[in-house]
Chain A
Amino acid sequence: MTETTDPIRVRSAPAGSKGSMPFRATPPSALGEPMIWLTGGALVLCLVMIVGLVAMIITQGISTFWPRPIDRVTLNDGTVFLGVPTEFQEDPPQTLYRTGNRDIGTEPFRWVSQSDIQSIDRPEYAVMLERSAWSVWLGIPERAILVNDQGEPTIVAEGPKAVLAFIDEHHAKARARWHEIESLKKHDLGRVNKRIEASRLRVREAELATRREQKPGGNFGLGAFVLVLGLGIASAGAAWYVGRLFMRGDEQQQLEGPSRGMRSLRMALVLVSLGLLLAAWLHAPWKDRNITEAGLAEIRQAAAEREAKYQDQYAIILARIAELEAQDERYRLEVIDPRTGRFAPARQTEPDNPMRLSQIVRLVDTNAMGSSEKVGVYLSRWWEFLAHPPREANTEGGVFPVIVGTVMLTLLLTFTVTPLGVIAALYLREYAPQGIVTSTVRIAVNNLAGVPSIVYGVFGLGFFCYTVGSYIDVGSDPSVRLPAPWWWVLLATTFLAFVAGYAASVWAKPVPGSEPTTMNRVLAWTARLLWVGVFIGVVVLIVRTPYFNGFFEARAADGSPTFGSRGMLWAALTLALLTLPVVIVSTEEAIAAVPNSMREGSYGCGASKWQTIRRIVLPGAMPGILTGAILAMARGAGEVAPLMLVGAVKLNEDLPISTNAPFLHFDRSFMHLGFHIYDLGFQSPDSQAARPLVWTTTLLLLTIVVSLNLIAIIIRARLRARLSGSTV
């Protein structure tokens, strides 16, 4: 090896050390280890926090429903009470007992210091009653009372054992009776109520119709109608014919398509026919529903007769309810609270009236239970939680309507935001000229993701609920309605602008393969201005139309807006707006990742731009689009703040899905797990009792979001496999 002039080697291999390997020192900081530790450590920290959170939610969430023993605590001062130990504290040692019995004025939860306790035992017959109202009652069942037909009470069982046997025998029947009463009240009475309501609405509609000026444009005779309809059909035919003329190009093997003039003419003909058909439809002579005062009186009369009939049905149902309630009143229990010696009352206001048997939802005598019975109680509590509506200001019972509300909202949100976002992303990536404007729009869209969600809520309430919703309900605001002739003039102008804009953009295209001329540029700008004009025209036409009176006018006039108030549809749209950036960004990325060679291949086969997008780009981008949908779904399902403004409510057992037409009721307000958690934790009257439920509800929300995502992820994996050719 000869002396080298390489400066590195000279420095690291000193002169004279001939034959030794050249040595280049590596500083310790350039070695991998510190960075491995740093990066790995950061990851572990993140993971630990996430795993800890999830583990806490799961452990707390699944233990809520496990039946705990009932202690009889004797204090040093001689007080005796029953309580379920729920929490322990070390320093000073004390125990939190759930003591229930809220309706006789005791604190439902109570911290007891270990030093105050004289003794604790677990009486076999101590029971915890989960009641349909006023939360739990802890006590010893002492007497069962049966009231006979004359209203005289007889004690039919005395002592805990006999009473428990009595309950065993009669409880199921009592509950069945109670369920029947509830069902009669809710469904049967509800149905009759709905009929009465519908009948009243019909009268209301008729009243509104007589008051309103029929036919804002004046009357439209049959002759004129036929003429306009005929013209409309004729120009539609002409548009079709003009288009047809140029389809024959194929046979003649010419390269030329339709000329620009012909294309504009065809567009004009299409619009003329649309306008004429619209006029014919709006002014069709048979739509004249002249309701006179006499007619109105007749309608009122018919309604009154109908309502009388409904009132009879109502009375029959009420009688049945009264009968069942009388039965129900007969079975009574005295379950004694050992501290006060008082029994559980039927109502808080009637402390001397012992409770009815049917008020017990579930009787838990934990101390006498084996583990299999405990598992039974545990499962039955889960079942109630998942499949029943809530009771007791949401702190008891189930969350079924909440689950339905959450799942439906999330699905509706996903199915709204995904198409919207995909279309927007397609425009941004495939159609829009890539320039400053497009980049600005892109940045703006991305920044939308950072707007606080409550802002979306405010916007949703103001725009969707009160503006769009009330437009759907009652139509255009009467104070801004245009006189019919002016409306038609505006329509014609808008159509004209549309045709002009179309023609301008057709002529704005430069000759293929050459630079746009000044003329082209001017035309392109003209076209843009005209499009803006058309947009404004369409908005004004819709907002100020004299022809639209809303779909639910009568109901709104009755003070119960349909879409003009908070509801699931608007909540979903608000969340869709909120999650739109996520979908747009991931779709854009996915579209950009579709190789250009695929597009070229498709164009080379003679596919149009749209065919290429639909058959090549979109399927190729589908996994990415699904990623966007998944992210949107996850984000949307967890949002609470905007929902509080646009539709989530504390309690609404009317599900947004039902067996009554139209089956999906997106106009209804709904319950939502996120809001439910907030409500349980911070808004409930008995927050101690609700706290374990917060965990369980959180666990449920987590499970729902994860499983919805899982479904989407599985679909995506399938798609990916298909695209990469690893499966059929």
Chain B
Amino acid sequence: MPAMVDIDKRGENDAKPVYKVIEAIRRGEAVDPTLHPDMESLEGVIDVDMFNLYYGDTRALFDINMAIPRGKVTALIGPSGCGKSTLLRSINRMNDLIAGVRVQGRMTLNGSPIYAPHVDVIGLRKRLGMVFQKPNPFPMSIYENVVYPLRIDGENRKSVLDEACERALRSAAIWDEAKDRLKQSALGLSGGQQQRLCIARAVVADPEVLLLDEPCSALDPIATLRIEELIREIAKRYTVLIVTHNMQQAMRVSDYTAFMYLGRLVEYGPTSGIFRRPILTETEEYVTGRFG
């Protein structure tokens, strides 16, 4: 077992662990990600293949290769600025909105390329729900916020909207709090409620994949807990990709975890593997909070 070997090695160098991979990355060498067994054979909803991204002249993602497994929760972890958000945002092509962004490589959703000339970006985004780090409810009523994705599809039948709104609010675990104030401004909700509202908005149109970018970073522990429960709940129906800085959270909610560093994918495997038997020293040090 490679993991066992790793831990043994660490025992020898207790004072100063050797970060072979990270040293190599810092030197600017190309490093292959360390994949746990079985990861190669995963069937991915989203397949990332030698993906690079540049902000103007600065390169933010380096040869990312990974498959996001269908129907599972995948967590992206890594120190600040390592490109987690960038990767997440390139899946629904949010980076198109930033001037000077260039990409290389391939990324596919259900096998069809995301970065191809004829791709209907709007159609693509309709199939991927996204929740941002900071809650961003629109300045309208709670109801209108939730049904926004349906409204822009031209759906105006009240019965359909009402039903979808209730379903989405229930699956975002905010129905009980919001049902009596649907017509009131969403800005009157608390931060945690707003974030759950955003989750409701992201799931109301039944996306295939839910992209969550640090959804709990602005929330207190209780709200965080509720959202975590919610993610587990939602994961029964959707594929979820979540960025988080909170190791416990990654451990609690995700099935797979990818550790990124300086724009590279470093180690990728089942969450239990990453947290209990990581292959690389640096991963272990990072998930235990000793490095990062």
Give A contacts to B, CB under 8 Å: 249-250, 253-260, 434, 509, 511-515, 595, 597-608, 611, 615-616, 619-620, 722-728
Contacts and interface: CB of A to CB of B under 8 A. Distances in A.
A597 B132 contact: yes
Contacts of B185: 722, 724-728
A650 to B, nearest CB: 50
A256 B116 contact: yes
9 contacts: A253-B127, A255-B114, A511-B115, A601-B132, A603-B97, A605-B148, A606-B123, A615-B148, A725-B139
Nearest to A597: B136
Contacts of B121: 512
B119 interface: yes
A257 B120 CA distance: 5
Contacts of B120: 249, 255-257
Interface in B117-173: 117-127, 129-130, 132, 134, 136-141, 148-149, 151-153
Contact of B115 (A253, A512, A599): A512
A604 B132 contact: yes
Interface string B199-213: 001100100000000
Nearest to A727: B185
Contacts of B183: 728
Interface string B278-291: 00000000000000
Nearest to B112: A255
A169 to B, nearest CB: 66
Nearest to A507: B117
Nearest to A599: B97
Nearest to A515: B102
A727 B116 CA distance: 46
Nearest to A262: B118
A512 B198 contact: no
Instruction: Among A254, A604, A615, find the residue whose CB has the most chain B CB atoms closer than 10 A.
Output: A604
B187 A725 contact: yes
Contacts of A605: 125-126, 129, 148-149, 152, 201-202, 205
**Majority secondary structure, B binding face:** mixed
A175 to B, nearest CB: 58
B246 interface: no
Nearest to A722: B185
B92 A257 contact: no
Given A257-B119, A605-B149, A606-B122, A514 B139 contact: no
Interface string B46-81: 000000010000000000000000000000000000
A255 B114 CA distance: 7
Contact of A513 (B97, B115, B124): B115
B92 to A, nearest CB: 7
B177 interface: no
Contact of A723 (B118, B139, B148): B139
Chain B contact-residue range equals: 35 or more
B112 A254 contact: yes
Contacts of B149: 605-607
B103 to A, nearest CB: 3
Contacts of B129: 604-605
B97 A600 contact: yes
Given A258-B118, A606-B122, 14 more contacts: A253-B110, A255-B123, A257-B123, A512-B93, A512-B96, A512-B103, A513-B101, A513-B104, A513-B115, A514-B102, A598-B138, A601-B198, A619-B140, A723-B139
A640 B151 CA distance: 47
A591 to B, nearest CB: 14
Contacts of A509: 117
Nearest to A601: B136
Closest 6 CB pairs of A and B: A725-B187, A725-B185, A513-B103, A606-B126, A257-B120, A604-B130
A725 B129 CA distance: 25
Instruction: Among A255, A434, A600, A607, find the residue whose CB has the most chain B CB atoms closer than 10 A.
Output: A255
Instruction: Among B114, B118, B186, B188, find the residue whose CB has the most chain A CB atoms closer than 10 A.
Output: B118
B118 A259 contact: yes
Contacts of A615: 138, 148, 151-152
A513 B96 contact: yes
B138 A604 contact: no
Given A722-B185, A725-B185, A603 B123 contact: no
B125 to A, nearest CB: 4
A604 B207 CA distance: 11
A257 B118 CA distance: 5
B184 interface: yes
Nearest to A723: B139
A166 to B, nearest CB: 70
Nearest to B144: A615
Nearest to B51: A513
A723 to B, nearest CB: 4
A511 B134 contact: no
A644 B136 CA distance: 51
Nearest to A513: B103
A599 B94 CA distance: 11
A724 B139 contact: yes
Contacts of A725: 139, 184-188
A619 to B, nearest CB: 7
Contact of A604 (B112, B115, B188, B202): B202
Nearest to B141: A728
A514 B52 CA distance: 11
B62 to A, nearest CB: 15
A606 B122 CA distance: 5
A608 B202 CA distance: 16
Instruction: Among B120, B129, B132, find the residue whose CB has the most chain A CB atoms closer than 10 A.
Output: B120
B152 A604 contact: no
A616 B151 CA distance: 13
B242 interface: no
A129 to B, nearest CB: 63
B97 A255 contact: no
A512 B136 CA distance: 27
B152 A255 contact: no
Nearest to A611: B152
B113 interface: yes
Contacts of A616: 138
A346 to B, nearest CB: 70
B109 interface: yes
Nearest to B211: A604
A256 B124 CA distance: 9
B134 A597 contact: yes
A597 B132 CA distance: 8
Nearest to B121: A512
A606 B202 contact: no
A255 B138 contact: no
A715 to B, nearest CB: 16
Contacts of B134: 597
Contact of A512 (B53, B116, B141): B116
Interface string B11-33: 00000000000000000000000
A249 B132 CA distance: 28
Contacts of B119: 255-257, 512
B117 A255 contact: no
Contacts of B140: 619
Contact of A255 (B109, B141, B153, B205): B109
Instruction: Among B95, B140, B186, find the residue whose CB has the most chain A CB atoms closer than 10 A.
Output: B140
A241 to B, nearest CB: 19
Contacts of B152: 605-608, 611, 615
Given A255-B109, A255-B120, A601-B132, A606 B114 contact: no
Contact of B122 (A434, A607, A619): A607
B180 to A, nearest CB: 13
A725 B102 CA distance: 39
Contacts of B95: 513
A509 B118 CA distance: 11
Contacts of B132: 597, 600-601, 604
